[in-house]
Amino acid sequence: MSTLYRINRPKVISEAFDDEVVAVNFDTGSYYGMRATALTIWNLLEYGASPQALTRRMMSLYHGDEQAIGEAVAEFLEQLRKHNLITETSAVRADADPEPAADHRGPWEPPTLSVYEDMKDLLLLDPIHDVDEQGWPARKPDQVV
Amino acid sequence: MTTATDNLASAGTYTPSAAAEFVEAARLCFERAARAAGGVRERRFQVGERSVLLRFAGDQLVPLMVRALAHLEEPSALRPDLTVCFFDSESTGTPMPAPPWSREQYTNLGEIDGYNNGQVHVTYTPGVDILHCLDRERGLAVYWTPTFRLIPWWEQSFPLRSILNWWLRDQPFQPAHAAAVGRPSGGVLITGPSGTGKSTSTLACLESELQYAGDDYVLIRTDPSPFVFSLYSTAKLEADNLQRFPHLAPLVSNADRLEREKALIFLHEHHPRKLSGGFPIRALVIPKVTGRKDSTMETIPPAAALLALAPTTTKHLLGTRRETVEKLMRLVKAVPSYRLLAGTDLSQIPVAISRLLDGLNPSGAS
C-alpha cells in the first residue's frame, strides 16, 4: 500500500490568498509560498493523498507527460517532508472530493516551494552555558544580536 | 543562597505556578530596590487604547526607557491596564535573587524553558543581560538588568517591545516590524526586512504633508478595522544613509557612536507636529530600491505582503508566533498591498504615497 500524506497540522498553518498559499511551520519559524501546481497539490494534501493519487489528479488537470509529472510530484512531496510541512497519515479524510476537479487542462509546470527562513540565524545562536555564582548568565558580548 | 521563590514567604496569599511565583518574587525585589534608591518614579503612557504605567526604582533607567515613548505620555488617575517595574542592581545596590531555574533551562532564543505558559512569560536575552517577565493575568511585568550602563542602544529605540507583544497576545493588537505614514483619514504601513528601504522611504515623508507614526515598530489593531498606533518616536538610519538626509544630521542623538550604532533621532523633540498618534490603515506598502530616479507603485498579491511583513515581525517577537501570524494574516486580507518602487529622487516617495492614498480615499478627507 502506498504512503498517504497530509498537512502537518497543527504545527503548520496555511492561508490561501488568491492564487497563492502561505504556510508557516511553527516548530522552525520558517515561511513557505506555493503557487500554481504547488497550490493545487497543497490543497489536496489537506485531505490526505498518496503520491500516485496526486499524480493522477495532476494528469486530469494539466497537460503533461505522466512520468515527468510523477517524478515532479514525488520530488515536491520530498521537499515538503524535509521541511516537516507534511506527515504520514493512515487514511484520506472522509470529506475529500473523490471526483477530479473541473478539467482546466492547462500546461503542466513542476511545483515549486519558496522558502523564507528568517529565524534560522537566531535558532543557530548558542544557548547560555556559563552562569555566575548567583545563577545569572555571564555576559558574552560576542553573543549580542 | 536565597532564591527568588524563597522570598515568597512574604508574598502573602499569592500562590500560583512557579512561573507566576517568580514574577511576584521579582516584583518584591523591585520594591526593595526602589526603597534603596530613594523611591519609585512613575510615568504613565497611552499605548494604543490601553493605559500603561512604568515604575522605576531610582532615576537611572528612566531616560533610557522613556525617551522613545515620550510622545505617548498621558497623566491619568485611572487604574493602569499594564504596570511595568524597572530596576537595575548596580544603581540601586539591590541584587536579584538567584533564579529558580537551572542553566539547562536557558534556550538559545532567551526563553526560560518551563517558565513560559499562557499566563507567564520569562526571558533572559542572551548577550545583553536583560530579564523580562510578565504575568498577563495580573497585568504586571518586571524588567531587570545587572547594570543600567550596558543597556544597548537599540533597546532605547523600542523599549517594552517584547513585553507589549506578550501582553497583547490575545487581544486584536500586534506590535509589527513596520513603519507608518499617513493622514488622519488613513495611511500606509510600510514593511519589509531590514535594509529594503523602509526607513529611507519613511523619513523621505518628513518633508511632506504626511504624518509619521513610526519607522521601525508600530502597534497594529486588526479588529474591528485595521488601524495603526504610534509606539516609538524614534527614527533610525544607517550612518552611511545619513548623507541623504542632511537636515536630520544635526538631530542625531548618538553622533559620537555612529561607527557601531545606527543614527538615532527622537523626532518628537524636534518635529512634534509631524508625529501622529495613529490612523486607519488603507494599504500595505513594500518598498524596493530600484536605483532609478522616479518612484512608482504597483499592486502585489497579498501573499507577497504577508511574506514581507510576518517573518521580519516574528523573528524578534518570541513566544507568540502563531497568534502574531494569524493577526497579520487578517490584516493582509483586509487591505490592498503595493510595491513601492523607490527611486533616488526622495521627494517623489511621499508624492507616490499621497497619490495612492488619494486613490484609496476618493473623498480626499484628511
For B41-70, the pLDDT digits (tens) are: 999 999 999 999 999 999 999 999 999 999
Average pLDDT over residues B306-327: 89
CA proximity to B264, closest of B361, B157, B188:
B157
Cβ contacts (< 8 Å) between A127 and chain B: which residues? 106-108, 126
pLDDT of residue A98: 59
Q: CA B8, B10, B15, B17: dihedral to nearest 10 degrees?
A: -20
Average pLDDT over residues B289-299: 94
Task: Identify whether the C-beta of residue B11 lies closer than 8 Å to the C-beta of residue B28.
Answer: yes
Q: What percent of chain A has pLDDT over 70?
A: 80
Among all residues of chain A, which has the CA nearest to that of B330?
A15
Cβ contacts (< 8 Å) between A140 and chain B: which residues? 126-127
* pLDDT tops 80 at residue A145: no
Tens-place pLDDT, residues A99-120: 555 556 788 999 999 998 765 5
CA distance B2 to chain A (A): 9
Cα separation, B366 vs B362, in Å, equals 11
Tens-place pLDDT, residues B105-161: 888 778 899 999 889 999 998 778 899 999 999 999 999 999 999 899 999 999 999
Beta strands in B68-169 (DSSP E): 82-88, 120-125, 130-135, 140-145
Q: Do A13 and B326 touch (CB under 8 A)?
A: yes
Burial of A136 (0-12, 13-18, 19+ CB in 10 A): buried
CA proximity to A128, closest of B316, B96, B19, B109:
B109
Q: Do B126 and A125 touch (CB under 8 A)?
A: yes
* pLDDT tops 80 at residue A133: no
Residue owning grid cell 502537518: A8
DSSP-derived secondary structure for chain A: -PPEEEE-TTTEEEEEETTEEEEEETTTTEEEEEEHHHHHHHHHHTT-B-HHHHHHHHHHHEES-HHHHHHHHHHHHHHHHHTTSEEEESS--TTS--SPPP---EEP-----EEE-TTHHHHTSPPP--B-TTSPBPP-GGG--
Answer whether the bond into residue A10 is a cis peptide, omega within 30°: yes
Confidence of residue A88 (pLDDT cuts 50, 70, 90): very high
pLDDT averaged over chain A?
83
* Dihedral sign from CA coordinates of B222, B223, B226, B230: negative
Confidence of residue A141 (pLDDT cuts 50, 70, 90): very low
Cα separation, B341 vs B353, in Å, equals 11
Average pLDDT over residues A52-62: 93
The single-letter code of the amino acid at A113 is L
Pairing of strands B82-88, B140-145: parallel
ipTM of the complex: 0.74
* pLDDT tops 90 at residue A92: no
CA distance A144 to chain B (A): 5
**Mutate which: A13, A32, A42, A118, vs B, most B CBs within 10 A:** A118
* pLDDT tops 90 at residue B201: yes
Average pLDDT over residues B237-264: 92
Q: Do B303 and A33 touch (CB under 8 A)?
A: yes
Task: Provide the phi-psi class of B364: left if phi over 0, else alpha when psi is between -120 and 50, else beta.
Answer: left
* pLDDT tops 80 at residue B3: no
Q: Which of A73-82, A109-118, A134-143 has the lowest mean pLDDT?
A: A134-143
- Record: fold of B173-360: Rossmann fold (3.40.50)
The domain spans of chain B are 4-167, 173-360
Average pLDDT over residues A66-91: 96
Cβ contacts (< 8 Å) between A22 and chain B: which residues? 303, 306-307, 310, 329
Task: Identify whether the C-beta of residue B71 lies closer than 8 Å to the C-beta of residue B268.
Answer: yes
Distances (CA, A) of B202 to A82, A88, A120, B214: 39, 47, 28, 8
The domain spans of chain A are 4-143
* pLDDT tops 70 at residue B192: yes
Q: Do A22 and B306 touch (CB under 8 A)?
A: yes
Residue owning grid cell 515581525: B313
Among all residues of chain A, which has the CA nearest to that of B99?
A135
Q: Do A140 and B127 touch (CB under 8 A)?
A: yes
pLDDT of residue B158: 94
pLDDT of residue A65: 94
pLDDT of residue B364: 47
pLDDT of residue A42: 96
Average pLDDT over residues A85-94: 89
Cα separation, B267 vs B232, in Å, equals 9
pLDDT averaged over chain B?
91
Cα separation, B3 vs B9, in Å, equals 11
pLDDT of residue A125: 54
Which residues of B fall below an 8 Å CB-CB distance to A? Answer: 1, 95-99, 103, 106-109, 124, 126-129, 146, 150, 152, 193, 301-304, 306-307, 310-312, 314-315, 321-322, 325-326, 329, 332-333
Among all residues of chain A, which has the CA nearest to that of B155?
A145
Task: Identify whether the C-beta of residue B330 lies closer than 8 Å to the C-beta of residue B222.
Answer: yes
Confidence of residue A122 (pLDDT cuts 50, 70, 90): low
